[in-house]
Amino acid sequence: MIGISPKLPMSLSPNGGHLLNETHESSVAQNFKNLILTCPGEKMMDPLFGVGLRNFLFENDTAALKREIFEKIKKQTHMYMPFISLDAVNISSSDKGRGSSITSAASLTVSIRYSIIPLNVTNLLTVDV
């Protein structure tokens, strides 16, 4: 099987070898998701790489926080994936069971509609942390 990059998380193909991203679109989508989820400092050879959405998880839900997340996404995309155009970014958060128990969980959802300029393709990436 011919592929562009390994599909993450890595898993074995029924035909032998590992599953692969077979299109540029799927490879870009995977790399974009990694950019959004990677925390700055996590990538050894480039400590500036990554938005680090998890770092914002327990912050107060304010307009300023949403602007900060948007600006970080915009800056990181421009720096590391300049062939992507951000069309729309929607950021929402919730605190399920606020104050009810130690196991209650906050969540942050970011939906990004983006265009891959050279491929003339539009996609939607939704990340829940």
Q: Would you say residue 57 has pLDDT above 90?
A: no
Domains along the chain with CATH numbers: 5-128 (3.10.450.40)
Read off the pTM.
0.86
Q: Which residue has the higher pLDDT, 25 or 8?
A: 25
Residue 12 pLDDT class (50, 70, 90 cuts): confident
pLDDT of 86 reads 98
Residue 83 has a CB neighbour count (10 Å cut-off) of 11
pLDDT of 102 reads 42
DSSP the chain: ---SEE-SS--B-TTSSB-EE-SHHHHHHHHHHHHHHSPTT-STT-TT----GGGGTTS---HHHHHHHHHHHHHHHHHH-TTEEEEEEEEEEEETTTTT-TT--EEEEEEEEEEEGGGTEEEEEEEE-
pLDDT of 121 reads 97
pLDDT of 117 reads 97
Average pLDDT of the residues of the chain: 89
Mean of pLDDT values over 18-41: 94
Mean of pLDDT values over 98-113: 69
Residue 95 pLDDT class (50, 70, 90 cuts): low
